[in-house]
Amino acid sequence: MDGEVPGPHSDPMETSEPIESFDRLVRAEFAPRTVYLNTAATALLPARTVAAMRDAAASAAAGRPSDMFADVEASREAFARLAHVPASRVAAGASVAVYSGLVAASLSAGAEVLTAEGDFSSLVNPFHVRGDLKVRAVPLERLAESVGPGTALVAVSAVQSADGRIAGLAALREAARAHGARTLIDVSQSVGWLPLFADDFDYVVAVTYKWVLCPRGVGFLVVPEDLGGLPPLFAGWAAGERPWDSTYGPVAELARSARRYDESPSLFSYAGARHSLALIEELGVDAVHAHDTALADRFRRGLRSLGHEPVPAPGSAIVSVPGLGHRQQEVSRAGIQVSDRAGNLRAAFHLYNTEADVDRLLDVLSAG
């Protein structure tokens, strides 16, 4: 897989049974009381996830805590399957900024870091605050052609948070390889609806409270097989090869896998995360991709019929409409959750949304 927008490997429209199974699973997990089109900000939690977190909290309150470290490992393994890499290459944490900072710390003074203009701060700011790196921002569409022999790293979000544009990752990968540059890809706005093949890149990072439906406090970093030369700067006891033997004094031996980059986990969040990730696996990313993008395309067609032109982002589940951000509160009062980002009205379509949701938003916008 080359990182470009894929067509689904299997067409869920071929028979009615896959669609019915998809719908049954979704109905069993979600019953929103609003038209919720704001997954790009934060997702709805599945019922199974809420139940698991409630059970974990109740067990802890009763003095019988469950083994939530097992939940961390189950979550790591599930994310690894979504990324198509071994779990030994996945670190478990909570923040894009922490892991972006770790990559920033691995660079030599004066190294050039290439980024996209207006990309999400948690990804790019750690490179700026170092103070001794050459950080260069270019338009997203020119990212691949801007990689040069002096570029040490390219850092970019696979899908832009502000407007849903999808980076040309195949061209970027080839340009980076041609010039010996490494790549750091933030998939927070794509994993769960856009298939991910982390082997295409050097480092892949994500928070998971968006499209893979996890609670806040869960994030992952995928590193190369050789760990990519990252310094384990914040390694604590959880990063030891034998964590429970690493609780006092210097850690005698860091984990030989990507677990050396683990943050001390937010256990209650991971108790829920394993169930959210399992739901995405049960539904299938290809089916989610087909569902989400069909709704986004329906919204784009409706917008054009109303005389509005969305930001060009073909194939994206996120639709951003210039000049309509000021209507976000009005739309919210109508029971529809969207975002105002940089003056744009941003709608994000996910598995719990329907065609009726799209049409309801269009009806509200048409009345303005």
pLDDT in tens, 118-174: 999 999 999 999 999 999 999 999 999 999 999 999 999 999 999 999 999 999 999
In a domain, 1, yes or no: no
Mark whether 208 and 73 lie in a shared domain.
yes
Q: Given this model, what pLDDT does residue 20 score?
A: 79
Structure tokens at 143: 């990212």
User: Which residues fall within 8 angstroms of residue 361, CB to CB, at 6 or more apart?
Assistant: 35, 37, 299, 331, 336, 338, 347
In a domain, 262, yes or no: yes
Q: Given this model, what pLDDT does residue 19 score?
A: 75
In a domain, 214, yes or no: yes
Q: What is the CATH number of the domain that holds 126?
A: 3.40.640.10
Q: What is the CATH number of the domain that holds 292?
A: 3.90.1150.10
For the cut 60, the answer to whether the pLDDT of residue 8 exceeds it is: no
Judging by DSSP bridges, how do beta strands 219-222 and 90-93 pair with one another?
Answer: antiparallel
pLDDT digits (tens, 9 = 90+) for 178-208: 999 999 999 999 999 999 999 999 999 999 9
User: Considering the chain, what percentage of its residues have pLDDT values greater than 70?
Assistant: 95
Rounded distance between C-alpha atoms, residue 208 and residue 206, angstroms: 6
Q: Given this model, what pLDDT does residue 16 score?
A: 57
Mark whether 261 and 291 lie in a shared domain.
no
Q: Quote the number of domains for the chain.
A: 2
Rounded distance between C-alpha atoms, residue 189 and residue 158, angstroms: 7
Mark whether 142 and 86 lie in a shared domain.
yes
Boundary (domain end) residue, out of 253, 282, 311 = 282
Boundary (domain end) residue, out of 248, 282, 316 = 282
pLDDT digits (tens, 9 = 90+) for 213-265: 999 999 999 999 999 999 999 999 999 999 999 999 999 999 999 999 999 99
pLDDT digits (tens, 9 = 90+) for 101-119: 999 999 999 999 999 999 9
In a domain, 131, yes or no: yes
Measured CA to CA in angstroms, residue 226 lies from 45, 229, 291 at distances of 35, 7, 37
Mark whether 299 and 253 lie in a shared domain.
no
Which helix (H) or strand (E) segment holds residue 362: the answer is helix 355-366
Pick from 26, 13, 128, 74: nearest CA to 265: 74
In a domain, 2, yes or no: no
Quick one: average pLDDT of 337-361?
Answer: 97
Residue 115: which domain range? Answer: 53-282
Mark whether 203 and 213 lie in a shared domain.
yes
Quick one: average pLDDT of 301-325?
Answer: 97
Mark whether 333 and 213 lie in a shared domain.
no
Mark whether 254 and 199 lie in a shared domain.
yes
Structure tokens at 219: 């994030």
Rounded distance between C-alpha atoms, residue 208 and residue 265, angstroms: 14
Residue 61 phi/psi, 5-degree rounding, is: -65, -30
Q: Given this model, what pLDDT does residue 5 score?
A: 39
Mark whether 105 and 198 lie in a shared domain.
yes
For the cut 80, the answer to whether the pLDDT of residue 7 exceeds it is: no
